[in-house]
Amino acid sequence: MFDSVLLGSEQRFPFSSICIIFVVMKRYYVCFSIAGSDPSGGAGIQADLKTFSALGCYGASAITALTVQNTKGVVQSVPVDANLVYEQITAVLSDMSPTAVKIGMTPTVEIIEAIVTALNTFPVSHVVLDPVMVSSSGCRLMDSEALKVLCTKLLPLCSLVTPNIVEAVVLKECLEKEKRVDPSLCMLVTGGDRSGVPCDVLSTPAGRVVLNGHRVHTINDHGTGCTLSSAITAFLARGFPLEASVCQAKKFVEKALKAGLEQRLGGGRGGMNHFFAPEPLLIEEF
């Protein structure tokens, strides 16, 4: 009955001669940045996407704010409509199923709530939050009500939070005020913006780990915080444990800073060199 198969309109082939070929499809390590846009390319989603690509991941993005900035500083920041932010996020989460998400600038209550709703609808294995509150040039990027919603609604969804020392104090005060202190919250307090040996502290339910680094003296350091958090996101997406992801990300940032030492970009603080052939970094042992 099934002795032949018709292909097209003319050819017939014996059924016994047909082979069924199973193709094993590879899958990208998909990382998703939800952050503000930096037209100068040094920070924000631009830095995140470069970092994802440099570390062998496929990067997607949703824009939460449009900024006017260059190497000299941030001039203006305009939030994107929260409904549009939500639509961007769900379009990616529902289709591409990223393994890890990095969240950067969240300037308004409505945008934070949109992110929370989307993540509750489409859960993600790893969520890294870089709480962008004030730019290095002093421009305020989050209001007080947004901070409250971030602490009470977004933080519980996060695998890791990466504030600098000033931001960590603000978060701690907010969490205590709202009675939402969570001992299980993992936090990496970064100290690279302080003088002396750059020292970060990783706090997890297992305890605290002090992670010393090597200071790179350069003016091309725009976007180091964004790059660190997105590098951690990339390593988590690739299956590295949390502490190993943080250590690898710190090495990546250090090497990217060194690779950009001799470059000159703009009249202020330029960007680092994300593409310095970092493949060997992925197989380093701890």
- Per-residue pLDDT in tens (0 to 9) along the chain, 286 residues: 444 434 344 455 454 555 565 667 788 999 999 999 999 999 999 999 999 999 999 999 999 999 999 999 989 999 999 999 999 999 999 999 999 999 999 999 999 999 999 999 999 999 999 998 866 655 666 778 999 999 999 999 999 999 999 899 989 999 998 888 888 999 999 986 666 777 899 999 999 999 998 889 999 999 999 999 999 999 999 999 999 999 999 999 999 999 999 889 999 999 999 998 655 555 555 4
Q: Rounded distance, CA 62 to CA 277, Å? A: 27
**Would you say the pTM of this structure is higher than 0.85?**
yes
59 and 128 in contact (C-beta within 8 Å)? Answer: no
Output the pLDDT for position 140.
66
Q: Rounded distance, CA 183 to CA 99, Å? A: 24
Output the pLDDT for position 143.
79
CB atoms within 10 A of CB 255: 19
Output the pLDDT for position 99.
97
* Residue 54, both tokens: 């440099």
276 and 256 in contact (C-beta within 8 Å)? Answer: yes
Output the pLDDT for position 16.
53
Buried b (16+ CB within 10 A) or exposed e, 114-145: bbbebbeebebebbbbbbbbebbeeeebbeee
199-204, strands of its sheet edge to edge? 73-79, 58-70, 30-37, 100-103, 126-129, 160-161, 187-189, 199-204, 207-212
Domain ranges, ordered by start, for the chain: 28-273
* Residue 276, both tokens: 């310095």
Output the pLDDT for position 179.
85
Provide the CATH topology of domain 28-273: UDP-N-acetylmuramoyl-L-alanine:D-glutamate ligase (3.40.1190)
